[in-house]
A and B are shown apart, each in its own frame.
Chain A
Amino acid sequence: MEENKYLKISELNNYIKNIIDQDSFLYKVYLKGEISNFKNHTTGHLYFTLKDDTSRINAVMFAPNAALLNFVPEDGMNVLVEGRIRVYAPQGSYQIYVEKMTVDGLGALYIEYEKLKKKLASEGLFNPEHKKPIPKYPEKIGVITASTGAAVRDIMSTIKRRYPICQAILFPSLVQGKSAAPNIVEQIKKADSFGVDTIIVGRGGGSIEDLWAFNEEIVARAIYECQTPIISAVGHEIDWTIADFVADLRAPTPTGAAEMAVPTIIDTNNLIANYKIRLNKNIKSMINTKFITLRNFKNSFVLKNPMAIYEVKEQKYLNLMTTLKNNFLNIIGDKQRRFENLKMNYILQNPYQLIAPLQTKYDLLVNTLKLVNPLNILDKGYALVKKNNQVIKSSKELQIKDQIDIRFAHGTIKAEVQEIKKQNEKRNGVN
């Protein structure tokens, strides 16, 4: 049958799919290329094309793998991918199912650097409060760098030149390549426990890949945990490594690190000489000041004129006496004035005024008394009868032959009762 030669498209595509699926070389393919037509599907799957100068291939990265990316892919980005080649039968196309993807070249390192820097910064490893002060006059310095090359020569010779009384001990380390980071960590720990005043860790300049050990997390943590103050000296001025951020002090170059680590003998001698000058100047001026003060005291008026002390006291005494006298006179004068004032008082001036009302009252009383004095009645012809010196008010008190005294106004007579006549009781009377 003629018609049997013709295949269904799906049959062809499935046939090709089977061939490709069975090719173990295509199970895992490493590709290097530039991203284009990048689409980030809402499902989280990434669809894009990988291309180089001459070819392109469709790529898909499923959400679970895409979630592990440490960067955000975009068009034009050079990437390294790892994945499997498979055929998508319905479309008759083959594509790479990307499992891993990283940024190619420097870009990748840069992303890693930024990520670690951010992480360590957020943990506080770069905080100023963790920076230990660098001893000014160290006696031993640990140097961690390669045992050959410009860096070690610069550091060691600078220390020797500036401050030869300081001992520099090299803890040789790899500073480049895969083993560099663990080696640097090991030497930092060794130098820390060895007992040095300051540690310099570094290397000469190089490419970002060359310096990479100093951007490794283990190195950063070793620097952070080291008890001895560390000066970092990696590369040249413009390169800041993670190690530089963690170190207690960052030097731009190895020579710079040595200069920061030790003073110069000359400067130190000058400093001591300067202290001596200041000490002498100070003590001299102090003694001089005291001397002048003493001389001023000696020349003081009082010490020159001892009598002045007496004169002052005497003057004070006289002043006091004058004051006392004045006060006394004032008091006397005051009393005198008060006495005079009292003397001028109206009552004292007119004492009769005091007794005049009494006099009037007295006169009135006397007159009243005169009026009521029984003896006054006698003047009018009445007489008072007494018996045994008792006033007799009624004839009933008398009996015949009683001896009685009869008092008149101007004399008394003795008489004898001869007769008693009854009369109205109310009318007392004697014959």
Chain B
Amino acid sequence: MEKSFENALAELEAIVKELESGNVELDEAINKYTEAMKLAKFCSEKLNTATKKVNEILTENNELKEFDVDTEA
């Protein structure tokens, strides 16, 4: 299962803070850095290439239909 954006970002934040704490061996730090950069790339891509979602409405028949606020309002 693909990592959720929220989890990826939380992991990224955790690594940044851990590295900034300075309690990491160099070898481990480099591994973590590589991992963090992958996470940052994943998050950026997810954020910027994800297709924009349409708003929807759950109808009385429990069906999802597109919901355009501008015309409905």
Q: Which residues does A use to contact B, with CB under 8 Å?
A: 135-139, 147-150, 152-153, 156-157, 159-160, 164-172, 190, 194, 265, 268-269, 271-272, 275-276, 278-279, 282-283, 286-287, 290
Contact = CB atoms under 8 A, between A and B. Distances in A.
B33 A166 contact: no
Given A166-B53, A283-B33, 18 more contacts: A136-B9, A137-B9, A147-B67, A147-B72, A148-B72, A153-B70, A153-B73, A160-B55, A165-B52, A165-B53, A172-B57, A172-B58, A265-B47, A265-B48, A275-B13, A276-B37, A279-B33, A279-B36
Contact of A164 (B9, B12, B53, B70): B53
Task: Tell me if B's interface is mostly helix, strand, loop or mixed.
Answer: helix
Contacts of B26: 286-287, 290
Contacts of A286: 19, 22, 26, 29
A273 to B, nearest CB: 8
A201 to B, nearest CB: 14
7 contacts: A165-B47, A166-B53, A167-B54, A169-B64, A271-B9, A278-B16, A286-B29
A283 B15 CA distance: 12
B16 A272 contact: no
Given A147-B72, A148-B73, A170-B67, A269 B47 contact: yes
A168 B55 contact: yes
A396 to B, nearest CB: 124
A268 B42 CA distance: 13
A279 B37 contact: yes
Nearest to B6: A137
Given A137-B5, A152-B69, A286-B26, A276 B40 contact: yes
B1 interface: no
Contact of A170 (B9, B15, B30, B55): B55
Interface of B: 4-6, 9, 12-13, 15-16, 19-20, 22, 26, 29-30, 33, 36-37, 40, 43-44, 46-48, 50-58, 64, 67, 69-70, 72-73
B64 A279 contact: no
Nearest to A265: B47
A288 to B, nearest CB: 11
A421 B21 CA distance: 138
Contact of B19 (A150, A279, A290): A279
A159 B54 CA distance: 11
Given A137-B5, A148-B73, A152-B73, A170 B56 contact: yes
A156 B20 contact: no
B44 A272 contact: yes
A156 B67 contact: yes
Nearest to B67: A170
B67 A279 contact: no
Nearest to A171: B58
A347 B54 CA distance: 123
Given A276-B37, A290-B26, A139 B73 contact: no
A8 to B, nearest CB: 72
A252 to B, nearest CB: 20
A135 B6 contact: yes
A194 B58 contact: yes
A196 to B, nearest CB: 11
Contacts of A278: 16, 19-20
B31 to A, nearest CB: 11
A282 B4 CA distance: 26
Contact of B57 (A147, A164, A279): A147
B48 A169 contact: no
A276 B12 CA distance: 9
